A = this chain, B = another copy of it.
């Protein structure tokens, strides 16, 4: 055994040794964000954060990992996708799987009973990566916690935020599918599903956006053990969808099976209020009441929703959320009702990248306003004096010092990079106390005294 340990340790050394063997790469399911992608990402985050701030949310951030125990019992069948850290002595840790559970943990830790917050950060899932699906990806979350609100008012605001996000990101036509956990449970009760099978049948129903009813029915009967009769009853109810007010009206009509179930009736009351608010806020046309929406996660207790692109079945959801009134209490014993939405941003990035490509303009990856070019060897010091004056005036500037013959190449580079201004100084200009000021967009050039350089550029560019 000691020999084995030595051998393992030797093998480890060799494996971990730093010899160049293959080109390194980011881990599977992750990616680097290139400067071009970062430019798009920052634009997207700017839009998203502005919507969140418009609704009075404050920002919050939590650690990338949590105590493993904090994540257990929250994600149902998806718990197996959680990344664990190695046990290196000390606490047992896991990477966060979403931003909702850390938010609930934060409220519990600090005994906060009332908070409207947003959180834009990465989460981690050991899922099979595919196009547009990563193991490390951003979520943009907006949540309202607290019991001081009138019924369905926070639920309304979260849905309003979701429609504003998708409208302002301008990434294509979408719809928000909406359902209610209590309504769903009522439906299962009506159909005769035993309570112990509710969550597992919900998981099956949740697949209806990707799979035909026949396949889901088969799973219910053959894997989850429902009778054919019960499954068929689910089938007749679950496939209803439509405009919220119209379908709700339908489901409330005399003779509707839903009127006989306490849970369904309570849920329809809440939905009625919610739909009234969405109508008052002119965003109800984005919402579809869809009885097949179930959502996999354990912690939802009320309204649930999911935004999808219209006309595509492949892409899946771009945002999802719902009410979770019991999650904070799972940590602290004291319930804090809460509702929220989470926007998965990777697909949004992809769409914005495509849009950007089709525009065929220069996508700037930096914001440089002025390129200082000093011609002649050993004049770096002069270039540094010039550019330092620009920096001191808070102008965004870079500098280079090249032999005169290389000027054309430097100008071409600056134009390609989208830099609007250039300061050029050769030995002649410098002797006379001048520099050349070149507008690279208009292709105009003037000679000005060196002392006027900063003021001239400030006048053209403007400083905040």
Contact = CB atoms under 8 A, between A and B. Distances in A.
Interface of A: 15-18, 20, 23-28, 30-35, 38-39, 41-42, 53-70, 72-74, 83-88, 90-91, 93, 95, 105-106, 108-110, 115-117, 122, 124, 126, 136, 150, 153, 156, 160, 164, 276-277, 280-282, 329-333, 365-368, 380-381, 384-385, 388, 391, 394-398, 401
A454 to B, nearest CB: 14
A341 to B, nearest CB: 16
Contacts of A41: 61
B109 A26 contact: yes
Contacts of A136: 63-65
Nearest 5 CB-CB pairings of A with B: A18-B73, A35-B58, A30-B63, A38-B59, A84-B86
Interface of A: prevailing SS: mixed
A63 B27 contact: yes
Interface centre among A74, A117, A150 (most CB of B within 10 A): A150
A384 B61 contact: no
Given A72-B16, A156-B384, A282-B388, A28 B91 contact: yes
A14 to B, nearest CB: 11
A174 to B, nearest CB: 19
B70 A391 contact: no
Contacts of A33: 59-62
B18 A58 contact: no
Contacts of A329: 20
A287 to B, nearest CB: 15
Contact of A385 (B34, B122, B280): B280
